[in-house]
Structure 1
Amino acid sequence: MTQNKDITALEDIKLLVDTFYGKVQKDDFIGSIFNEKIANRWPEHLGKMYRFWQTILLEQHTYTGSPFPPHKHLPIDKVHFDRWMEIFIETVDTLFTGAIADEAKLRAKNMAEMFNYKINYFRDADQKGNLLNSK
């Protein structure tokens, strides 16, 4: 059995992203959320994810934009992020070994935690605003 190599090139990013999102699309728990939101725009989404992870992990600045806003109003909670992380870690560990692979898992964990926090923050703010407006 050959030992996995680290993430070092755009081809590695594409393998990671394609494998990960292939699993996500089929996942019984989070697949429908992604498939409903992205619909027939998967090629566009995957291209954006290649550029995002290429920028984050390989320091080749090909991604521009703000990743959070499209996620702001999704019907998701911590359990959804936990499942996303399970699939991500499993995918990275199956395909790669090394410092950049470890960095990918750390960055994904930090992003999931921050997105979860911000989604809850905006959800709470919306609820408070609705309460104030109803008085």
Structure 2
Amino acid sequence: MKKDIADREDVSLLVHTFYKKVRANKDIGFFFNETINDWDEHLAKLTDFWESNLFLVQKFKGRPGRAHIEVDYKYEHKIEAYHFGVWLNLWFETLEELFEGPLAERAKNHARNLGHNFFMKIFSARPK
């Protein structure tokens, strides 16, 4: 039986394992690999983000919605719901490989909501 996500170390394992898959993915990896310059800093920030969301602590500082809009602009508004689906499937796959329990389920639900919200922000920010 797998354990549930319990602490920052678990969140870091999840984030690092997940983004290793993302970076290698042919459908979405390039968005990340061509945009992020400092992966150590980015992974630490994403660990803060997920730790904040899962454990309801205030560690994350940033504007992820704005960042996603900027990436969409960089790629000439070519980010589609499909790309968020690939991202979400990789997230679920990684969670299911590593963890099980209420916080793992919260991470799935939160990611599902994030994907939808980020795509809607991107779509709404596009030129009409």
Same fold per TM (> 0.5)? yes
Q: Deviations over 1:29-50 (max 9, x none)?
A: 1011110011x31111101001
AA aligned to 2:82 is V
For the residues of structure 1 that align with 2:119 and 2:47, how far apart are their CA atoms? 22
**TM norm structure 1:** 0.87
Q: CA deviation at 1:66?
A: 2.0
For the residues of structure 2 that align with 1:55 and 1:82, how far apart are their CA atoms? 23
Counterpart in the other structure of 2:63: 66
Runs of 4+ off more than 3 Å: none
State the Cα RMSD in Å: 0.9
Mapping 1:1-135, distance limit 5 Å: 3-38=1-36, 40-73=37-70, 74=72, 75=75, 76-123=79-126, 126=127, 128=128
Sequence identity percentage: 41
For the residues of structure 1 that align with 2:47 and 2:118, how far apart are their CA atoms? 19
Task: Note the residue ranges of structure 1 that are not aligned, 5 or more in a row.
Answer: 129-135
Q: CA deviation at 1:60?
A: 2.4
**TM norm structure 2:** 0.92
Query: Could you say what secondary structure the match of 1:61 adopts?
Result: coil
Aligned pairs, how many? Answer: 122
For the residues of structure 2 that align with 1:11 and 1:4, how far apart are their CA atoms? 15
